[in-house]
Amino acid sequence: MPVRFATVGASLGGAIGAIVGLVIGLYAYAPTAPFAAVELGIPAAVAGAIVGLIAAATTTANRRIRRRHASSS
């Protein structure tokens, strides 16, 4: 499960970062827009993966706590 959450977070973060980088790059100086997309897309993908891992860890911990709480009652 953590890998799935991290993959989804990285994909979404990278896509959003690349689109924002492309728009900013086209506005600033069009010939270098693809480089701006990469410069913003890669860090956004890493940040998305980290957020995805944190979400997966939180979800897994909550499920384990609920399962133990339900079995002890």
Going from N- to C-terminal start, the domains of the chain cover 2-72
Distant-in-sequence, close-in-space partners of 12: CB < 8 Å, separation ≥ 6: 48
pTM for this predicted structure: 0.85
Q: How confident is the model at residue 73, as a pLDDT?
A: 63
pLDDT over threshold 80, residue 1: no
Q: Give the pLDDT confidence of 15-61 residue by residue, as tens digits.
A: 999 999 999 999 999 999 999 999 999 999 999 999 999 999 999 99
